[in-house]
Amino acid sequence: MATFADIPIRIEQPDAEPQQFGHAVPILNEIRHALARLAEQGETTRIDLGAMPFGPGDEARLMALLGQGEVAAQVDALGPTRIWETRFAGVWVLDYANVDGERIALQIEVDEVPQMLRAPRADMTDSLAALDAALVSAAADPAADPAAKSRH
């Protein structure tokens, strides 16, 4: 009678290159249609890559296909968020992390400028009030003006 010890065991090592599962190209096609909607109708799109059925290697392939453009930014709010435009104008990657630097979300945003980089109207209203106060203060005491001090 055969036992478990009689069963041959073969250990396989993973390939050096990650296996491609083929999900990068369909997502790139979705991005293409989103970019067409933005160009033709002004419609913005956000794609949550965390909800995509990525297999090993798919994310790396998608990022390679998208490439890196000329614009990049980092926002530090509840953890660092890296934002960069791909080689395709209007197609942005947003890589959100928590305070420990662990990724919490990865998104593609198809827009002229990512929403995260736009100042909220309420913040602009607050800034307008602060700027008015700075103008009043600078007019009342020209010696307190930091620009005047730097010229001397």
Which tens digit of pLDDT belongs to each residue from 68-114?
999 999 999 889 999 999 999 999 999 999 999 999 999 999 999 99
Report the range of poorest mean pLDDT among 16-20, 58-62, 110-114.
Answer: 16-20
CATH number at residue 47: 3.30.1370.140
Mean pLDDT of 43-65: 93
Percent over 90 (pLDDT), the chain = 68
Return the ∠ at Cα 71 (arms to 82 and 45), rounded to 5°. Answer: 70
What is the residue range of 145's domain?
Answer: 121-150
**Which pLDDT value is given to residue 150?**
54
Residues 35, 37, 39, 123, CA torsion sign: negative
Q: Does 103 fall in a domain? A: yes
Judgement on whether residues 98 and 29 belong to the same structural domain of the protein: yes
Q: Does 2 fall in a domain? A: no
**92 in Cβ contact with 75 (< 8 Å):** no
Q: Does 140 fall in a domain? A: yes
Nearest to 61 by CA among 121, 107, 106, 21: 21
Q: Does 41 fall in a domain? A: yes
In the predicted model, what is the mean pLDDT of the chain?
87
For residues 143 and 77, give the distance between their C-alpha atoms in angstroms, rounded to a whole number: 35
Mean pLDDT of 40-48: 97
Has residue 18 got a pLDDT over 50?
A: no
139 pLDDT band, cuts 50/70/90, is confident
Of 7-11, 12-16, 75-79, give the range with the top mean pLDDT: 75-79
Judgement on whether residues 143 and 93 belong to the same structural domain of the protein: no
Pick the more confident residue, 76 or 2. 76
Give one word for 57, left, alpha or beta, with left for phi > 0 and alpha for psi -120 to 50.
left
Judgement on whether residues 82 and 138 belong to the same structural domain of the protein: no
Judgement on whether residues 58 and 111 belong to the same structural domain of the protein: yes
- Give the count of domains, the chain: 2
Q: Does 12 fall in a domain? A: no
Judgement on whether residues 97 and 36 belong to the same structural domain of the protein: yes
